[in-house]
Chain A
Amino acid sequence: NAGVTQTPKFRVLKTGQSMTLLCAQDMNHEYMYWYRQDPGMGLRLIHYSVGEGTTAKGEVPDGYNVSRLKKQNFLLGLESAAPSQTSVYFCASGRDYQETQYFGPGTRLLVL
């Protein structure tokens, strides 16, 4: 069991470029989440999914889009990157909304 994996681990973008972060889980979890973590702040929920084909907005969704075409994958897209999106992005998954969330290793994104 790999658990939750994320690619890439690190990326540098220029302002205005686009990219997709990939999250994959092999635990057959229904729920998947994308968070960002910034210094001095708690994790903030960007988008989440309660099952294949569903997505919903979290606390800070602006500038991001997501897709969950397959149960095991949850993609986070940045259409036009901005320096304010420099952060560490974590994906997480869970069996149910009240269950423990399992986190991937994170993607460090730097937008210049």
Chain B
Amino acid sequence: GQNIDQPTEMTATEGAIVQINCTYQTSGFNGLFWYQQHAGEAPTFLSYNVLDGLEEKGRFSSFLSRSKGYSYLLLKELQMKDSASYLCAVMDSNYQLIWGAGTKLIIKP
């Protein structure tokens, strides 16, 4: 079966750095997405990785290792508005997105 694993919940302090991990087992791989979802709102796109390595976009970076079936999202200089759920999704061989259950990130002052 297809499986995406990410921690259910993480807590971090304002101004700090946090790394959210995602491991996956899917039938084929055509890219990995990270989305942010604030409570009661729609998911919004953060990043896309299809090749191994680090993609940096402002305070957010995303890393991919296809051989290990592993990705992480790195958030720097945390702000209170970063409190949200972070969803990892893998595009499988049928070009459909398989979604993880999401990691709820709690930022404390």
Check A104 against B42 for contact (C-beta < 8 Å): yes
Check B95 against A98 for contact (C-beta < 8 Å): yes
Given known pairs A58-B96, A97-B95, A98-B95, the reply for A42 and B102 (CB within 8 Å) is: yes
Interface string of A23-58 (1 = CB under 8 A from B): 000000000000000001111110010000000001
CA distance A48 to B91 in the complex (A): 15
Q: Is the interface of A mostly helix, strand, loop or mixed?
A: loop
Check B42 against A42 for contact (C-beta < 8 Å): no
Check A106 against B97 for contact (C-beta < 8 Å): no
- Nearest CB on A from B3, distance (A): 10
Given known pairs A43-B87, A90-B42, A105-B42, the reply for A100 and B48 (CB within 8 Å) is: yes
Check A103 against B30 for contact (C-beta < 8 Å): no
Any chain A CB within 8 A of the CB of B86? no
Interface string of B23-36 (1 = CB under 8 A from A): 00000001101000
- Nearest CB on A from B6, distance (A): 9
CA distance A44 to B89 in the complex (A): 11
Given known pairs A43-B87, A98-B91, the reply for A103 and B43 (CB within 8 Å) is: yes
Check A45 against B96 for contact (C-beta < 8 Å): yes
- Nearest CB on A from B5, distance (A): 10
CA distance A104 to B89 in the complex (A): 18
Given known pairs A58-B96, A100-B33, the reply for A41 and B101 (CB within 8 Å) is: yes
Give every chain B residue within 8 A of A42 (Cβ-Cβ): 4, 87, 89, 98-102
Q: A interface vs B, CB < 8 Å?
A: 4, 40-45, 48, 58-59, 90, 97-98, 100-106
Q: Provide 29 A-B residue pairs closer than 8 Å at the C-beta atoms, listed in order of the A residue.
A: A4-B42, A42-B4, A42-B89, A42-B99, A42-B100, A42-B101, A42-B102, A43-B43, A43-B89, A43-B97, A44-B99, A45-B96, A45-B97, A58-B96, A90-B42, A90-B43, A97-B95, A98-B30, A98-B31, A100-B33, A100-B45, A100-B48, A102-B45, A103-B42, A103-B43, A103-B44, A105-B42, A106-B41, A106-B42
